[in-house]
Structure formats: structure tokens, C-alpha cells
Structure 1
Amino acid sequence: MLQFKQFIAPCVFFIAAGTAAQTQQAHNAPAAAQETANAAHDFPAGTAAKAKTPDPSAELKRATAKRAAEADAAKKSEVKKIASSSQREIQQKIFRSWQVPEGSAGLDARARIVLTDTGNVQSIVVMGAPNAAFKNSIEKAVRQAEPFAMPEDPGARRAARLIHIRFAAK
């Protein structure tokens, strides 16, 4: 039991000493604030600002990374815009060559067209065609319209190679 009391006694003293120190510190707070203000006058004007300034090389790296990310996003946006424009032109060329079969009013189908880098048709998949004549007319229109003009930019060309078109007879 004696050992237990020896363990508790220093802890109690530590807590009591801590409380007394906190009381003394709170009592001296105005004096400490005045000492801090006086110390600020003893240093040159730019010293405090220099201590808080982050590493210039880290700032440069962050700024460079941010500019690179913005440039990459702009490039991706431009590639997407070029590919989309190219796909619209291809779609219009196909529609101009499409001859809708007689008696097909109100019918529709979807086609997935994959092109090569040179603008030739690699594959055509017609989905949901109501009959063989409608399907054949779509395939014939795509084949007659090829070759297609492909974008110069490799990324835009890659994105423009896959085209989904809905064919709806009116």
C-alpha cells in the first residue's frame, strides 16, 4: 500500500503544481503580451514575414504542376471538340447517302460503326433493325459514304473512330 501512495503523491503534486503555474501564467498574461510586442520592435521589419514564407521551390513546383494540369485539360477538351465535329461530319455524309426503303416510315435502328485510322469502315453493327431491307439500307449507306476524313490529331482520330448513329425513317 505504501508504494501506491508514493505513486499517487507525485501525481497530485504535479496536478497542483500545474494548476498553480496556470494561475500564475494567467495573472502575468498582460505582461507577456507587452514583452511580445516589445520583442517585435527589436527585429527588422521583414524578419517575421520571411520566417512564414514557404519554400520558393515548392511554390514553383505547385504552380508548374497546376499549369501543366490546366494545359492537359485544355488539350483534352480540344481533342474532344475536334473528334465530335468529325463524327458529326461523318454522320451527315452517311445520312446523305442513305436511301430509306419504301414502307419504312416510323421505323428506326441503331448502328455502331468502327473506322480505321485512314477513314475506312472496319465494322458495322446494326441493332434493332425491323427487317433485312432496313438493315441492308443502313449498311449500304455507310459503305457508299466511305472513306471518311479523319482528324489529323492522333487523340482526336482515336476518339472519332467509334460512331453511334440512330437511323429513323420519316
Structure 2
Amino acid sequence: YRSPTERMQSRLGAFLDSTLGRSPNRARGLRAMRRRYGSIETSPLPSRDYVLDRYAQHTSICRDSADVLRNCQVVSRLAGTAAVLLAATKAAASASAGVGRGGAGAGTAFAAALSILDGVLLPKRLAVVLAVLALAKRGADRLAGEYRFKYTEKYRDRDLARIPKVWADPE
């Protein structure tokens, strides 16, 4: 008789045995680890940061993950740049419209274009577009963060502080 948790562990072990050998660049990574640390029995264990580093352990090896990370970085840069350019354009158009009403430079094509932009970039529309760009940048940055080292000492200490103390500390 086996309990459900024992069966789950044996099935998980069988799954890992059958799939880890086929993961991309796994054998090369294990050989590099053996060259770096020697045999597991005689060498010190790898550092906590090395073991938990998502980028080194997964993203740099897996092409799909590297592509997702690169796309997230592109989306983040584009959204940030577009938001800055849009806000600067609105500021220039508003300033030009105020100056254009006074008669200085009202006849130039540039002033006319800025006047049109000032009419198109209404405050509510601009706020919605800037909010969407901010959400896109934030989402891309958060998703990109999932592919990097995340569990720092600060997070570990915070999690350790949440563990309830069953016994009082001897003082």
C-alpha cells in the first residue's frame, strides 16, 4: 500500500527522469557544472544565488524564454518612449496653440500641424492612451522580471519572518 503522496512523488520522479534528459542544452549545462564544481560528493554545493538564478538556469538556455524576455524588453521600451513622445507632443501643441492665438507664427504649416494635434490630443483621450501605455510597460516589466533572479535575500528574510515560532526563543 502506498499513500497518495508517495504515489505522487514516484510519478513526479518518473516524469523528471523521462523529461530532464531531453530538455535543451541540459547535458552541456551539467557537464559545465561538473567541470566547475567537480563531483558532487567532493565539491562544495553551488551557492544559493547560482541555484535560484532563473536567467542562468533557464532563460539563457531556453530559446523560447529568451525570445519572450527580448519581446518584453522591446514592448517596455516602446511603451515608455511612446508615452514620453506623446506627452511632449501634447505639451508642445498646447504651448503652440496658446502662442498661435496671439498671432505670432500663426500662418506657418508647423503651427497649423501643432494646432491640429492639440485638437486631436484631447485631455481624456491622452489620459487613456497614457494609461494603456503605462499598463503595457508595467506588464512587460513584470513579465520580464519572472525570467530573472527573483528570490533575493530580502524576500527570503521576509518569508522567514512570517514563519510562526512554535517554541519561545531561549534568552
- TM-score interval w.r.t. the shorter chain? 0.3 to 0.5
Q: Which structure features the higher share of helix residues?
A: 2
- Structure with bigger RCO (C-alpha 8 Å, 6+ apart): 2
Q: Which structure features the higher share of strand residues?
A: 1
Structure 1 length normalisation: TM-score? 0.32
Structure 2 length normalisation: TM-score? 0.32
Q: Which has the larger radius of gyration?
A: 1
